[in-house]
Amino acid sequence: MEDTEIEEIRSILTGELNMTEEVLQSLGLKQQSDVSGLSMEEISRDYGASVAELVTGLQKIDRLDTTKYSSNSENFIKLLLTLSDDIRVVLIKLGERLYNMRHLDQYPSEKQKLFIGETAFLYIPIAHRIGLYKIKNELEDRVMYFSEPEIYQQLEKKIRETQKDRDLYSAGFIRPIEQRLREAGFDCEIKSRVKSIPSIRKKMLAQNVEFEKVYDLFAIRVIIKNCIENEKSDCWKAYSLITDIYTPNPRRLRDWISFPKSTGYESLHTTVIGTEGRWVEIQIRTLRMDDIAEKSIAAHWKYKEGNNTGQQTEMYAAIREMLEKPVQSIKEKGTNQEKKALYSDEIFIFTPKGDLKKLRAGYTVLDFAFEIHTTIGSTCTGAIVNGKMVPLKYILQNGDTVKILTSKTQKPNHDWLDFAKSQRVIARIKHALKMEAYKDADQGKEMIKNKVTQLGSEFNDAAVNKLISYFSCEHYLDLYQKFGEGKLDLLKIKKALVEPQSEQIISPSKKEEDSPERISEALSGKADYIIIDQHLKSVHYQFSRCCNPIQGDKIFAFVSVTQGIKIHKTNCSNAHELVTRYPYRILEARWRPVGIEKAFTANLSVDGNYTEGVVGKLTHFLSNDLRVNIRSAKLSMQPGNTYTWEIGILISGKLTLDEIMKRLLKMKEVTNVKKSVL
């Protein structure tokens, strides 16, 4: 950068951006640092830490790869903000870019293309957001002049050719307004200005019309000079007088006096219909408002009270806030949106091809790899960051250029869960680990399917659930994997499906005990548990599986043909049939008082939504928290990723069982608990 160039940029910074001496110093010192290697320590020592911060920020921006600006403009703007805490760095670069565009023809063609693209996608949006409309308009004009020269020259020629007609029309349009305002005591200046060529081009495209059909080629600006205390009311008075002369379009009213823009811009805009049916935009403002509109936020803060240093600090904070607000899409405008995450919580990473990716601060190489693609994340071995090899757990920094390294032999492992930060990535790792654990499941499924088909049965959910129960598997993947690994015997499938275990049917209309998917055996007992008839001693009996009675239930005894005496609940589903059909086989029975060391088997059916490890949690809760002895357990997967866990437990009585059921229902993994009839 030559001395003349630096001087002109300094002139832009002081005259058009109101920058201070510190900013001018940083510009020259940055040049010295690039050329002579002047260190940041020396700059900080001799000129202060804030100047050193400015120089460092400028150097960081110069090192950015902006070749993919068109597809990442919003992220690039955010990145510019996060590279330095001092917002003046962005303003300096804006001043430099204004100089570049004013002298664009002095650069080689490749440099011209880069400057034009960066200006269109980065610097024009920045100037617009902070209200530097004059600079924004100039940049737009120069971008179009170099990128669409033929169209630019055609429109420029048409503007010149219509200048005389436009001047005559505007003079006739302004005359009655000027007269009416002066009669009302207003000292004002009324200007007519043609709209910029880029603005006219946008209107032609938006309205799909030729140049001659653009109805608002020029605008009238009314600047009230003698207004100090009653600015708002005077602007509205002027509006009232003007719209008495020309009919306004109510849809085109823009009130930035009652609600100024965040940049400090204040003005009242309306569009009225003049003679010959031509629409004209009118802007009404005071001299102070016009100063702010021309010089933007810097002028706005000039009118605030307070010391100069405090004003500047507050102004720069306001500029940063404006730039941090993302541009709303058409859909978002007019709707309540959640506040965006602060940019301090985000970092921006470059790929080797120059693409810019947004991540949360604190994310690792592994998180970034999965963000690109699950396959890349699953096979990631590390990365090259800014030319240096780093491990998977390396925490990425803002502005890093990252090349992910992969290997076909790499697979996710449990250690990755210790340093992955993204919840989505953690979920993907867990899924990959689960798939690895069940890698033989597909083979096992085919083996089972073939065997079930050979047996003449249908391979469906009912068959699979029977096999899950028979082989005591947690779920269908567990069943498939064990067969795929060869841990289970295919020959036993026939026994599980074709030869289910069942008991004697005591009635043609009702099974006394039907338990083909039996979980536990009923506890056989002696007369010390139950007293059966006062005259019988040492009678062998069994608890009926159809109602599973436990101490506290009302019971009776039934003499079966082949299995001896069976104990039933009086409200058993088979009780009525047994009593009416075989009254001669009914015996009285009651519980003998027992100590706490005596126990009975109770069977429960527990339902819930299946999650990995749910059986372990339930087992731990029963065994460790409730001190319950589990005799048997069997898990069955149900449709909708739900489960049914059937368990046999030893308890001392009905009251104990009720308490256990209540405690189970309070667990988040459980939706329903009931006594099961097995």
Lowest mean pLDDT among 216-225, 311-320, 339-348: 339-348
- By C-alpha distance, which of 632, 622, 566, 640 is closest to 602? 632
Q: Are residues 576 and 671 in the same domain?
A: no
Q: Are residues 120 and 29 in the same domain?
A: yes
For residues 42 and 593, the model is more confident at 42
Q: Are residues 584 and 605 in the same domain?
A: no
Average pLDDT of 638-659? 77
Q: Are residues 187 and 286 in the same domain?
A: yes
**What pLDDT, on a 0 to 100 scale, did the predictor assign at position 316?**
56
Give the tens place of pLDDT for each residue, 8-60. Answer: 888 888 877 777 788 888 888 888 887 777 888 888 888 888 888 888 888 88
What are residue 162's phi and psi, to 5 degrees? -100, 5
Place 332 in a pLDDT band, splitting at 50, 70 and 90.
Answer: very low
Does residue 150 form part of some domain? no
Average pLDDT of 368-389? 88
Does residue 519 form part of some domain? no
**What pLDDT, on a 0 to 100 scale, did the predictor assign at position 283?**
93
Dihedral sign computed on CA atoms, order 98, 101, 107, 109:
positive
Average pLDDT of 163-177? 90
Using an 8 Å Cβ cutoff, are 71 and 36 in contact?
no
Does residue 234 form part of some domain? yes
Q: Are residues 663 and 650 in the same domain?
A: yes
Q: Are residues 446 and 432 in the same domain?
A: no
Does residue 537 form part of some domain? yes
Measured CA to CA, the distance from residue 3 to residue 40 in angstroms comes to 22
Please determine, for residue 146, whether its predicted confidence score (pLDDT) is greater than 50: yes
Q: Are residues 161 and 120 in the same domain?
A: no
Does residue 228 form part of some domain? yes
At 264, which amino acid appears?
A: G
Give the tens place of pLDDT for each residue, 266-290. Answer: 899 998 888 887 888 999 999 888 8
Please determine, for residue 640, whether its predicted confidence score (pLDDT) is greater than 60: yes
Structure letter (DSSP) for residue 533: T
**Which of 236, 265, 295 is a domain's end point?**
295
Highest mean pLDDT (candidates 291-300, 589-598, 605-614)? 605-614
Give the tens place of pLDDT for each residue, 519-553. Answer: 222 233 333 456 665 555 555 677 777 777 777 77
In DSSP terms, 349 is beta-bridged to: 357
Does residue 332 form part of some domain? no
Q: Are residues 205 and 261 in the same domain?
A: yes
Q: CATH number, domain at 377?
A: 3.10.20.30
- By C-alpha distance, which of 529, 525, 554, 558 is closest to 541? 525
Place 401 in a pLDDT band, splitting at 50, 70 and 90.
Answer: confident
**What pLDDT, on a 0 to 100 scale, did the predictor assign at position 320?**
56
Report in angstroms the alpha-carbon separations of 144 from 96, 118, 156, 360, 600. 19, 13, 12, 37, 90
**What pLDDT, on a 0 to 100 scale, did the predictor assign at position 314?**
56
Q: CATH number, domain at 654?
A: 3.30.70.260
Highest mean pLDDT (candidates 197-206, 311-320, 443-452, 628-637)? 197-206
Dihedral sign computed on CA atoms, order 117, 123, 124, 129:
positive
Average pLDDT of 631-654? 78
Please determine, for residue 434, whether its predicted confidence score (pLDDT) is greater than 70: yes
Domain region containing 587? 524-591
**Which of 295, 310, 329 is a domain's end point?**
295
Kindly state the percentage of the chain with pLDDT values over 90: 13
**Which of 437, 455, 478 is a domain's end point?**
437
Kindly state the percentage of the chain with pLDDT values over 70: 79
Residues with Cβ within 8 Å of residue 219, at least 6 apart in sequence:
192, 193, 195, 280, 281, 282, 283
Dihedral sign computed on CA atoms, order 38, 41, 46, 48:
positive
Measured CA to CA, the distance from residue 644 to residue 636 in angstroms comes to 5
First-to-last C-alpha distance (Å) of the chain: 90
For residues 594 and 294, the model is more confident at 294
For residues 378 and 594, the model is more confident at 378
Tokens of 295: 């010089």
Please determine, for residue 447, whether its predicted confidence score (pLDDT) is greater than 70: yes
Q: Are residues 164 and 257 in the same domain?
A: yes
**What pLDDT, on a 0 to 100 scale, did the predictor assign at position 540?**
65
Place 609 in a pLDDT band, splitting at 50, 70 and 90.
Answer: confident
**What pLDDT, on a 0 to 100 scale, did the predictor assign at position 525?**
35
For residues 621 and 391, the model is more confident at 391
**What pLDDT, on a 0 to 100 scale, did the predictor assign at position 654?**
58
Measured CA to CA, the distance from residue 380 to residue 402 in angstroms comes to 13
Average pLDDT of 165-174? 90
At 95, which amino acid appears?
A: G
pTM of the model: 0.48
Q: Are residues 166 and 266 in the same domain?
A: yes
Average pLDDT of 415-443? 81
Place 151 in a pLDDT band, splitting at 50, 70 and 90.
Answer: very high
Q: Are residues 161 and 193 in the same domain?
A: yes
**What pLDDT, on a 0 to 100 scale, did the predictor assign at position 306?**
46
Measured CA to CA, the distance from residue 647 to residue 447 in angstroms comes to 29
Does residue 338 form part of some domain? no
Report in angstroms the alpha-carbon separations of 6 from 32, 126, 324. 12, 22, 29
Place 499 in a pLDDT band, splitting at 50, 70 and 90.
Answer: low
Lowest mean pLDDT among 258-262, 484-488, 496-500: 496-500
Q: Are residues 169 and 290 in the same domain?
A: yes
Q: Are strands 254-255 and 268-273 parallel, antiparallel or unpaired?
A: antiparallel
Please determine, for residue 664, whether its predicted confidence score (pLDDT) is greater than 70: yes
Place 512 in a pLDDT band, splitting at 50, 70 and 90.
Answer: very low
Tell me what the pLDDT averaged over the chain comes to: 77
Please determine, for residue 323, whether its predicted confidence score (pLDDT) is greater than 70: no
**What pLDDT, on a 0 to 100 scale, did the predictor assign at position 99?**
92
- Count up the domains in the chain and report the number: 6
Does residue 509 form part of some domain? no
Place 174 in a pLDDT band, splitting at 50, 70 and 90.
Answer: very high
